[in-house]
Amino acid sequence: MKGLDFIKNLATTAVVMMAIAAGSYAQTWNCGVNNGSNVTATLSNGTLTISGTGNMNNSYYRLINGTPWYSYNNSIIRIVIDDGVMSIGNNAFSNCARLMTVTIGKDVASIGTDAFYECTYLTSVTSLSEVPPVMTLNAFTSGRANIYATSVTLYVPQTSLSLYGAHPEWKKFGSIKAIGEDGSPIAKTTATKAAASISFAGITTGQINLNLKAEAYTAQLYNLQGRLVKSVDINAINGINATGLRTDNLSKGIFILNVKQAGVSVLKHKIAVK
C-alpha cells in the first residue's frame, strides 16, 4: 500500500511540475461578452485567473475547443474566478485534464453547461458565494465517470452549508465542508485585499456611501455587461464618505461597485437598483 501511495504521489508531483513548466510565462486573453476586455483570463505558473467585472463570454464556448486558452489546457492546474465576475461560460474549462483546484468568487451567479467537463483530476472546489450559483446540468461531469466523486471536496461558507447540501446539483459532491475545515486555505480573491476599515456603508437619499481611510480612491459602477456606467474620484476622510455616485438616476438592475486605491481594487460590492 505504501508503495502504491508513493507512486501516486510521484505521479501527482510530475503532473504539477509539467503543468507549471508549460505555463510558466503569462498569457492573457479577453473573455468578456462579445470578447470584451471587461473580463480577462491570465495564465501564469499553472494558474488561470479570470478577473474583471461582468459576465464571461458564452457564445463562442459552445465547442470544447472554442476557448482562447484551449491549447494551454494541459498547463492549467488551478483556476481562480475573482470577485466581480458574474458567470462562467459553457465549456469554459472543459478538458483541463490536469486541473486540481477551483476557486469561484462570491459574485458568480451561474455556471454554464459542461463548464468543467472531463476535468477528472479535480480534487477540490471552493465556492465563496453565500447563495449557490445556478448550475446547469453536466457542469462538473465526465463522459467516463461522475467527477462529483468522494475524492472531490466542495468548500463553501459556513453559513451556506445547508443551502449547498440541498441544491439538486451542488449536493452531488461527495463531501461538502465549510471553508477552513481540515486546514483548507480560505480562498482569497481580489476583493479580500480590502482592509477591514474599507467597506460599503449603504445608500442614503440615492447616494452611495463608503467607509474609507483618509486616502485617495476611485469609485466605479459597472453594469452586468461590464460597461462602465459612472466613475468618481474621492479624497476621503477617515469614516463615512458620500461618494457622489447616485443610484436614483439608474435604470433597474444589478450593478457592481468597484473601489480602487492606487489602481488596485480594494472593494467590490453588488448593488441592486429597484
CA–CA distances in Å: residue 13 to residues 6, 103, 116, 152 = 11, 21, 22, 18
Domains and CATH numbers, the chain: 2-183 (3.80.10), 194-273 (2.60.40.3080)
Q: How far apart are CA 241 and CA 260, in angstroms?
A: 15
* Per-residue confidence in pLDDT tens, the chain, 274 aa: 455 455 445 444 444 444 444 445 678 999 998 888 999 999 998 999 999 999 998 865 555 567 889 899 999 999 999 999 999 998 899 889 899 999 999 999 999 888 898 888 888 999 998 888 988 777 887 765 555 555 788 999 888 888 888 888 888 888 899 987 665 655 544 434 444 468 899 999 899 999 998 889 999 888 876 678 899 999 999 889 999 899 988 888 888 888 888 777 788 788 888 8
Cell numbers that stand for 116 in this block: 468543467
Comparing C-alpha atoms, which of 261, 258, 273, 236 is closest to residue 51? 258
Q: What pTM value is reported for the model?
A: 0.64
Q: Is the dihedral of CA 73, 78, 84, 86 positive or negative?
A: positive
